[in-house]
Amino acid sequence: MSEGHVAIITGANSGMGKATSIELAKTGATVVMVCRDQSRGDEARKEVQAKSGSNHVHLMLCDLGSLQSIRDFCAQFKQRFQRLDMLVNNAGVVLPGRHETKDGFELQFGVNHLGHFLLTNLLLDLLRASAPSRIVNVSSGAHKIGKIYFDDVNLTNNYRVWRAYGQSKLANILFTYELADRLHGTGVTVNCLHPGAVATHMGVNRETGFGTLITRLLKPFFQTAEEGAQTAIYLATSPDVRDVTGKYFYRKKPVTSSKKSHDKDLAKKLWALSEEMTGLATDK
């Protein structure tokens, strides 16, 4: 994976997304940084260009908390680019208190899972046409405490921040394994990863500043964003994993995810629900 290839990185304006963008740009790939905010995105793009020495770095706006925004982005991307070799689904959110996406979904499930589920599915035709290509989903060790609350997936009752986060991160892995099965033999690989404890702005409420002090206090014990991004970069670029698919990685090594994450019936049930919630079911 290098010169001539095209990569998308979501949540690319800060943290691991920005670090991943820099490293992929260094390989000579055309990097499309997907960000929600124009000004923060512009600032990040300039930094990525400066640190990578690449002139092939682009900013495109997309709000993963809006199904329409995702559809608009995918349409615009296909107008501008004829191929897609690497899709790094990095964006993630965890916030205190219950919040909703523009479509009324619980925010963490809506952005961390549903947003990337729709984005990936809408780009699959391009990924298949560009094969061998790769999809990398950033999950978390928090998936081990996760459960899919099918009776109340938006957690309108009994909301807890870690319940929401665990559900969304388990969903990332179930999605990875099911998609890998569906793409078997196409040349498109799908893997996910736990980046470890990383000092980023995730968990900081920009409006209230909640979480800033906690992040600052814990920062010495956390990896930097650059360190946390290493496994995603490895999965997106290394020839060692060219033919590896449907695996969960930590520190560039495949490790065993939770027993629940390997439940194929659970994965299929989540896929059907996700199709319904994102409107993909009616696209067929």
Residues involved in catalysis: 165
Query: Which whole-number Å values give the CA distances from 198 to 48, 194, 201, 228, 250, in the listed order?
Result: 20, 10, 9, 6, 13
Other CB atoms within 10 Å distance of the CB of residue 150? 10
CA diameter of the chain = 50
Residue 48: name the closest of 31, 63, 62, 60 by CA: 31
Residue 215: name the closest of 200, 194, 228 by CA: 200
3-state class of 74 per DSSP?
Answer: helix
Q: Which residues on adjacent β-strands are paired with residue 87?
A: 8, 135
Q: What's phi and psi for 33, nearest 5 deg?
A: -85, 120
The torsion angle over the Cα atoms of residues 1, 90, 31 and 80, rounded to 10 degrees, is: 110
The whole-angstrom separation of Cα 69 and Cα 280 is: 15
Residues 35 and 103: beta-carbon distance below 8 Å: no
